[in-house]
Amino acid sequence: MQIPAFAKVNLCLRVLNRRPDNFHELRTIFQTISLHDTLKLTHIPQRSIILETDSPAIAAGPENLVWQALEKCRSQWKLTGGVHARLRKCIPVGAGLGGGSSDAAAAIIGMLRLTKCRIPLESLIELAASLGSDVPFFLFGGRALGAGRGEEIYPLPEVARKCLLLVSPRDLAVSTAEAYGWLSALLTKDDIPTKIYEFCTLCWSPQETGLPNDFQATVFKRHPRLKAIQRELLRQGAVEAALAGSGSTVFGIFRSPAQARRTARLFPDDHTFCTETLTREECARARHWRAVAE
């Protein structure tokens, strides 16, 4: 059983007040892109989870979200036997593209296909949310509104396909926890009404007008290289360019794949990916599991 685990970008990311559970309230627009990891699952008779990865830098034990997802599926669904998983990574780690969360969602979908279990969608979403705030989004894909901690997902109308160039510095990763720490000191309640208004406008507009990301100013201040990448993408003709999530990838939206590929040659020392947006239907077809998109 082989499942693609697609990356995402945030077309808008607004961080609001801190909640009683100590998480921040978010409003974001998630968008799936075609860059993906690949997870291969095989049923084994022994009651264990075996995970192999193609990178020695990635944990292959209980600290890995794929391992955790497989174990939760096995125990909660009372499955006999175990699973051998092979994870091939293409999405950079710590880049703000949701690779780990997407891998976990792929593990859940793969287990459903492998075991042919019929689990209510509400239970799948609850299981996904227990693994990470944005894991529920990756069950669906496409373009969606994220609220709460990011675990509340509401599908949005799809928009025309967009060409993206991702630039991820090889020697730079941004910790999400650190990014929230840098931002928390700057949050004020007076900003919230404006953020919500702008967010609602972007949600329902067929064309994004700007890509606001509340992490961008503080992350760029500490990592000027990312700001320089954004400026270069815009100078090369990107319609918009912004930080992906909390970083450390910067993405630009281009009018054509050829323009994106030409621009990628200007970043020989960085990871670059020419990719495109995917709809919920396209994600479902690629994973051979239409129930998630319906």
Q: Which residues are catalytic?
A: 8, 134
Nearest in space to 165 (alpha carbons), one of 59, 271, 63, 30:
271
- Which residue's entry shows tokens 């859940």? 108
What's the burial of 157, exposed, middle or buried (CB within 10 Å: 0-12/13-18/19+)? exposed
